[in-house]
Structure 1
Amino acid sequence: MGSAIIVVGLGSGNPDRLTVGIVRTLQQASQVFVRTKEHPVMSVLEEWNLAYESFDSIYESHDSFPEVYDTIANTLMEHARTGESHSEIVYAVPGHPMVAESTVQLLRERCPKEGITLHVMGGESFLDEAFTRLGFDPIEGFQLLDAAGLSSTLVQPQLHTVIGQVYDVFTASDVKLCLMELYPDDYPVIVGHALGVEGLESILRVPLYELDRVEGYGNLSLIYVPRSDEDHLRQRTFARLHEIVSILRSPDGCPWDREQTHDSLRKNLIEESYEVLETIDEDDPEHMQEELGDLLLQVMLHAQIEEEMGTFNVMDVIQGLNNKLIFRHPHVFGENTAKDSEAALQHWEQMKAEEKRIKGIDVQSVSVLDGIPRDLPALMKAYKLQKKAAKVGFDWDNIEGVFAKVEEELAELREAVEQGLDPADQILELGDLLFAVSNAARFIGTDPEVALSKTNHKFMTRFHFIEEQLRNQGRTVLDSNVEEMEQIWQLSKTKSVENLHDLNE
């Protein structure tokens, strides 16, 4: 018989729950290792005068749990390789060896490669006691989560949730903050200590915000969050949003939503995008939250229409986006580096080109100007066209060349108007001027859309000031002349934007 390791489970803490097979294996073993002595069953092993070696000292000599588990697994395998032939090492772990036991998973992965036979004998898991003492049936829907790696994205309110590995109050605090992303602060949760262990068991029902004020956390502690179908708990989940949009489009849903198509929703998508931009300009986070939701609804509706046609669904959209983000950021998710935003942008462009190559697109035959949406606002499109052309050297050396071009186009527009040329020719000359001006934005490092948006806002603020001042005089813009309005306009220029805004409230 070659090298072998037998893993046994010591159960949840009650010695009476040990199986006959596990007791016999421990008593007959020539060498016993235990992951930790901090377990109620260890007192029984000592009553049997069973010699054992614990790995508690390894916890003290390493900085992280992964390092501890790695060292334990390697130590056990080394003893198995160097021990006497026909002898078996017994490794005892708390609970069930296959439940929340990282060292066993490492052994399962490594032993076959080293020619070491691994036997795993079950044991009572802390889950057995949790089902009994907390009184829930896992068939109703159940999830077991690790407190150390807990994320709100893993928690599903409609499932019974047991969170293990809550070793101390600091871990409990992390669990509390995570759960508060989904649950109300006063949501009732249960803390269980040493379930099923006589004299040690403690079951406390507390509001979520008190989770880190409970005493007694240790190796035998868990947190239980009962399942709930309450809508207000599901309202913060993406799954609920997907479900609602699907219902709206269903035969029993909303007649308006059912009638919508990609074409009919097109204008809504544009309008909602601009409403989000408005909240950004106004620096209004509360309003931005609402408008981002409206924009997300448009994305969900378009994806739902395609899901009904069987082409793709919103999960495909998310997967495609995730793949793209990871692929185009090799300096974050790969081995490349980027010391600044310019280097990061270069990586992005290189990976875009690589994507085209993978798709079989001949990069050499693709125009430099490709990739700009056809229906972008004209000023934004002009800016993007100029940026792409500049990347291949089709550009002025400095902004003085841009100024000269603006003056040239302005002169041509003036000439077209003065000579009374065809309106179509005047429009083209105006377009040339705007195109040249947008180049100035690129040279000063801003987006012309942003610049013009700020000027629009400034104009509106000052014009509202004119209207307000006239109202104070009992008049309106309709019964005043341009000279009077210009005088008030000049006055508005002496006021700060903030003061003008206050006057318009």
Structure 2
Amino acid sequence: MGKISIVGLGPGDYSLISQGALELLQSSNRIFLRTEKHPTVDQLKQQIDYTSLDYFYEKEENFENVYLHISKFIIDESKKGDLVYAVPGHPRVAEKTVGIIENLAKQNNVEVEVIASMSFVDAMFNYLAVDPADGFRLIDAFELENSPIDPKTNTIITQVYDEFIASNVKIKLMDYYDDEQEVYIVNGAGIKGQEQKVSVKLYEIDRYRELFNYLTSLYIPKSTKKMYNTVYDLQSIMKVLRSPEGCEWDKKQTHETLKKSLIEEAYEVNQAIDNDDIDELIEELGDVLLQVVFHSQIGEEEGFFNLGDITSAICKKLIHRHPHVFKNENIDMNEFDKTWEDLKREEKGETTVTEGLKRIPAYLPALMKAQKIQKKAALVGFDWDNIEDVHKKVKEEYKELLDECKSGNIKYIKEELGDLLFSIVNLARFLKVDPEEALNMTNAKFIKRFDFVEQGAIKLNKRLEDMTLEEMDKLWEKAKFQ
């Protein structure tokens, strides 16, 4: 088994290759370049024989596969003897294949040595006359979608090969920066005679197509303009509001005093959805998020939990309840509701279905709670066979209610009315109709028709209190056709 020596070719200028890397390249007879599309190679090819691995880029669909197959190829080649694997820049800076090769090498007992050269990051900071000690974050353009962006930190984005990638980067960054944010397009940093830098506004970066190639990166200085677009911004504001110098009202709130607020805000979200009003929905979802951050701040002050604990708990729950997504387990999606309930019982340590029924919050609206109870029972087979049986049950409960009404015993009337409502919820479930929504539709319809009646009375110069039921009923009938 041979040794793998990984060397850096520097940022692009021949003078910036380290002496150690150059000596190793000149003394080896088995050299593999991840890519020969690098300015240094023009001078190196006069001194060394090498094999370019650029053909991997042509036969693979994405960079992840390219990097993996190149890494496996290098490991396989090491079985034939010592070799040198050369990569642009510094092997430890934004070079995915190096990490993969080292991991595979450990599994195969292959010795790996890394010989550094200057990185393109060093060249960029030197060219821009910026001190990296001020802090920075390095992000691959192809991983930007899943990378956290911190406008308070200087950022370098690599592999901005063309205007299409630049456009995607721009769209992503606009979620975190002002459109007028200063951005430097840097091309050929560290290569004498080829270095270029252009300072542009964020919204303009994809307009400079002539600057984009495999040597292009973006440098975004830390922003001085606050965008307030992350949950952490909200968390910071809440900490101020709860601080000794904050707001007296916010400081005196507790989990108990805020209890109803979250419910009210959730209903306002529902209202915004029903109104099909996006601006209202954004505002109301913000109010819900505020409640979560408010509770997390109180929890942090009391030393019991913080926002990180809340996030961690829901992430773990989602992963556990989606084993078909995160663990590649086979699940019958036709029975996903039952699987979800089984996983929930497992999390709670429950051994019976009844424990799950008792766990349903007492504060839920009664129709919604009845619906949940019936659904949980139905998942284990405790349900009507067909809707005709449900029709019979509704009629039966209605008859029992009428019988109790004749007796005048309010206790039993309330009980039978509850039974009738419960059976109506069952009917709604079989009809695949949400009983809360159905009743709310009727509430809205009643208000609309009642308004028609009242406006009709006003036109007649009458008050509703002075009208007979027959007069109001005539207006009500007309309201049905409005």
1:435 aligns with 2:429: no
2:254 to 250, 261, 271: 261
One-letter amino acid matched to 2:13: N
Q: TM-score, normalised by structure 1?
A: 0.88
Q: Residue 501 of structure 1 aligns with which residue?
A: none
- Specify whether residues 39 and 395 from structure 1 end up closer, same or farther in structure 2 by C-alpha distance, changes over 3 A only: closer
| Greater alpha carbon shift after TM alignment, 235-244 vs 460-469 | 460-469
Question: After the TM superposition, which residues 384-423 of structure 1 pair with which residues of structure 2 at under 5 Å, given as runs?
Answer: 384-419=372-407, 421-423=408-410
Q: Residue 212 of structure 1 aligns with which residue?
A: 206
User: Does structure 1 conserve the Cα–Cα contact (< 8 Å) formed by 2:353 and 2:377?
Assistant: no
1:174 to 155, 168, 172: 168
Q: Distance in 2 between matches of 1:181 and 1:216?
A: 24
Question: After the TM superposition, which residues 99-248 of structure 1 pair with which residues of structure 2 at under 5 Å, given as runs?
Answer: 99-151=93-145, 154-214=148-208, 215-232=210-227, 235-248=228-241
User: Does structure 2 conserve the Cα–Cα contact (< 8 Å) formed by 1:147 and 1:171?
Assistant: yes
What are the Cα deviations for residues 82-141 of structure 1, in whole angstroms up to 9, with x where unaligned?
23xxxx422221100111112222221122333332211111101002212223333333
Q: Distance in 2 between matches of 1:281 and 1:384?
A: 22
Q: Distance in 2 between matches of 1:94 and 1:387?
A: 60
User: Does structure 2 conserve the Cα–Cα contact (< 8 Å) formed by 1:97 and 1:122?
Assistant: yes
One-letter amino acid matched to 1:219: Y
User: Does structure 2 conserve the Cα–Cα contact (< 8 Å) formed by 1:466 and 1:488?
Assistant: yes
User: Does structure 2 conserve the Cα–Cα contact (< 8 Å) formed by 1:331 and 1:344?
Assistant: no
Distance apart, 1:364 and its partner CA: 4.2
Structure 2: which 5+ residue stretches go unaligned?
A: none
2:316 to 319, 323, 331: 323
Q: Residue 351 of structure 1 aligns with which residue?
A: 343
Q: Residue 55 of structure 1 aligns with which residue?
A: 53
One-letter amino acid matched to 2:212: Y
Tell me the percent identity.
43
User: Does structure 2 conserve the Cα–Cα contact (< 8 Å) formed by 1:269 and 1:295?
Assistant: yes
Distance apart, 1:9 and its partner CA: 1.1
Q: Distance in 2 between matches of 1:222 and 1:237?
A: 25
Distance apart, 1:156 and its partner CA: 0.8
- Specify whether residues 494 and 69 from structure 1 end up closer, same or farther in structure 2 by C-alpha distance, changes over 3 A only: same
One-letter amino acid matched to 1:211: I
Structure 1: which 5+ residue stretches go unaligned?
A: 496-505
- Specify whether residues 414 and 336 from structure 1 end up closer, same or farther in structure 2 by C-alpha distance, changes over 3 A only: same
Where 1:192 maps in the other structure, the secondary structure is strand
User: Does structure 2 conserve the Cα–Cα contact (< 8 Å) formed by 1:330 and 1:347?
Assistant: no
Q: Residue 38 of structure 1 aligns with which residue?
A: 37
| Greater alpha carbon shift after TM alignment, 432-441 vs 400-409 | 400-409
Q: Distance in 2 between matches of 1:468 and 1:178?
A: 53
Q: Distance in 2 between matches of 1:393 and 1:347?
A: 14
One-letter amino acid matched to 1:445: K
Distance apart, 1:455 and its partner CA: 0.9
Distance apart, 1:418 and its partner CA: 3.9
Q: Distance in 1 between matches of 2:86 and 2:146?
A: 33
User: Does structure 1 conserve the Cα–Cα contact (< 8 Å) formed by 2:177 and 2:223?
Assistant: no
Q: Distance in 2 between matches of 1:17 and 1:153?
A: 30
User: Does structure 1 conserve the Cα–Cα contact (< 8 Å) formed by 2:6 and 2:85?
Assistant: yes
One-letter amino acid matched to 1:12: P
2:454 to 463, 467, 492: 467
Distance apart, 1:456 and its partner CA: 0.8
Q: Residue 309 of structure 1 aligns with which residue?
A: 302
Q: Distance in 2 between matches of 1:9 and 1:391?
A: 61
User: Does structure 2 conserve the Cα–Cα contact (< 8 Å) formed by 1:152 and 1:181?
Assistant: no
Q: Distance in 2 between matches of 1:370 and 1:115?
A: 56
- Specify whether residues 209 and 170 from structure 1 end up closer, same or farther in structure 2 by C-alpha distance, changes over 3 A only: same
One-letter amino acid matched to 1:29: S
Q: Distance in 1 between matches of 2:353 and 2:404?
A: 39
- Specify whether residues 470 and 12 from structure 1 end up closer, same or farther in structure 2 by C-alpha distance, changes over 3 A only: farther
One-letter amino acid matched to 2:399: A
Q: Distance in 1 between matches of 2:323 and 2:12?
A: 48
- Specify whether residues 64 and 158 from structure 1 end up closer, same or farther in structure 2 by C-alpha distance, changes over 3 A only: same
One-letter amino acid matched to 2:37: E
Q: Aligned residue pairs: how many? A: 481
- Specify whether residues 188 and 465 from structure 1 end up closer, same or farther in structure 2 by C-alpha distance, changes over 3 A only: farther
One-letter amino acid matched to 2:373: L
Where 2:383 maps in the other structure, the secondary structure is coil
Q: Residue 71 of structure 1 aligns with which residue?
A: 69
Q: TM-score, normalised by structure 2?
A: 0.92
1:490 to 458, 477, 480: 477
What are the Cα deviations for residues 268-289 of structure 1, in whole angstroms up to 9, with x where unaligned?
1222222222222323222122
Question: After the TM superposition, which residues 440-459 of structure 1 pair with which residues of structure 2 at under 5 Å, given as runs?
Answer: 440-459=427-446
| Greater alpha carbon shift after TM alignment, 218-227 vs 385-394 | 385-394
User: Does structure 1 conserve the Cα–Cα contact (< 8 Å) formed by 2:137 and 2:156?
Assistant: yes
Q: Residue 4 of structure 1 aligns with which residue?
A: 3
Q: Residue 358 of structure 2 aligns with which residue?
A: 370
Q: Distance in 2 between matches of 1:435 and 1:494?
A: 32
Distance apart, 1:474 and its partner CA: 5.2
Distance apart, 1:184 and its partner CA: 3.3
User: Does structure 2 conserve the Cα–Cα contact (< 8 Å) formed by 1:303 and 1:312?
Assistant: yes
User: Does structure 2 conserve the Cα–Cα contact (< 8 Å) formed by 1:368 and 1:389?
Assistant: no
Q: Distance in 2 between matches of 1:344 and 1:331?
A: 10
Distance apart, 1:3 and its partner CA: 1.9
What are the Cα deviations for residues 161-197 of structure 1, in whole angstroms up to 9, with x where unaligned?
1011222222222212211222233433221110132
- Specify whether residues 331 and 61 from structure 1 end up closer, same or farther in structure 2 by C-alpha distance, changes over 3 A only: closer
